[in-house]
A and B are shown apart, each in its own frame.
Chain A
């Protein structure tokens, strides 16, 4: 079974550039989450969707961050313009409502902003 698929796995960019991270959730899952992991702040929930609708984006750090889920099998997290402090590993996770509550994480996208 395919798990959560994220791309790119690694991204190095320069400050001011636009960054787009992509996620394909597990087929049939109706919740999708974007997390950010850093040494300083640990795992932070940025935003999550239910049935493609954003439910809670209170964790999105600022207007430079935006997330979309145009359909059940695809989501993007965009940072524009990027800054060095955005350097982190970004995880996408999916889950199935009414199940055990388990989150299934992708392998992450490591972003480095120079």
Chain B
């Protein structure tokens, strides 16, 4: 069973809208939470990552929010663009150099122009 539960499975958003993807985990030993972006026919690529000592991290239009007490974290894509259409995976591991990442099931985001 997956150690990181991700929702929704897919979402459609209009250009300029906000995409929100949620993830939840059970293992309190997890200490590193990256998000990977995957375009069709390509491998996943790191988008942004967060440690639990901060509640939010922003890089451009992408923001991770982290709620340690609820064991949840989410990805917000602001001002969504057609080029953001991809599958997004949340993941978790014991530390940034613990390479046993547990991936969520993925969310396919479609941005309509």
Interface residues of A (CB under 8 A from B): 4, 31, 33, 42-43, 45, 48, 56, 91, 93, 95, 97-98, 100-108
Contacts and interface: CB of A to CB of B under 8 A. Distances in A.
A95 B103 contact: no
Contacts, number: 54
B45 A105 contact: yes
What's the dominant secondary structure at chain B's contact region?
loop
Interface string B81-104: 000000001000101110111011
B45 to A, nearest CB: 7
Interface stretch (B10-18, B36-44, B52-60, B61-69): B36-44
A98 B97 CA distance: 7
Contacts of A93: 43
A106 B43 CA distance: 6
Given A42-B2, A100-B49, A101-B49, A107 B42 contact: yes
Contact of A107 (B41, B96, B99): B41
A5 to B, nearest CB: 11
B78 interface: no
Contacts of B95: 101
Contacts of B104: 42
B89 A43 contact: yes
Contacts of A103: 36, 44, 46, 99, 101
B47 to A, nearest CB: 10
Contacts of A95: 99
B38 to A, nearest CB: 8
B66 to A, nearest CB: 16
B96 A101 contact: yes
A100 B96 contact: yes
Contacts of B105: 42
Contacts of A107: 41-43
